[in-house]
Amino acid sequence: MPFVLDASMALSWCFPEEGSEKNDAILQRRAWDPGIVPAIWSMEVGNALLTAGRRGRLTDAERREAADLLAHLGIEVEPASTGHILLHVLPVAAQYELSIYDAAYLEMALRKHLPLAAADQKLAQAAATDGVELLTPV
Spans of the chain below 70 pLDDT: 16-32, 137-138
Which pLDDT does position 95 carry in this prediction?
Answer: 98
Which pLDDT does position 119 carry in this prediction?
Answer: 87
Which pLDDT does position 1 carry in this prediction?
Answer: 83
Which pLDDT does position 37 carry in this prediction?
Answer: 96
In whole angstroms, what is the distance from residue 77 CA to residue 125 CA?
24
User: The pTM is what?
Assistant: 0.87
Contact at 8 Å (CB) between 48 and 11?
A: yes
Entry field: residues in the chain: 138
In whole angstroms, what is the distance from residue 9 CA to residue 95 CA?
23
Which pLDDT does position 73 carry in this prediction?
Answer: 86
What is the tens place of the pLDDT at every residue in 93-123?
Answer: 999 999 999 999 999 999 999 999 998 999 9
Q: How far apart are the first and last CA of the chain?
A: 21
Which pLDDT does position 18 carry in this prediction?
Answer: 59
Which pLDDT does position 34 carry in this prediction?
Answer: 80
Superfamily of the domain at 3-130: 5'-nuclease (3.40.50.1010)
DSSP 8-class letter at 134: B
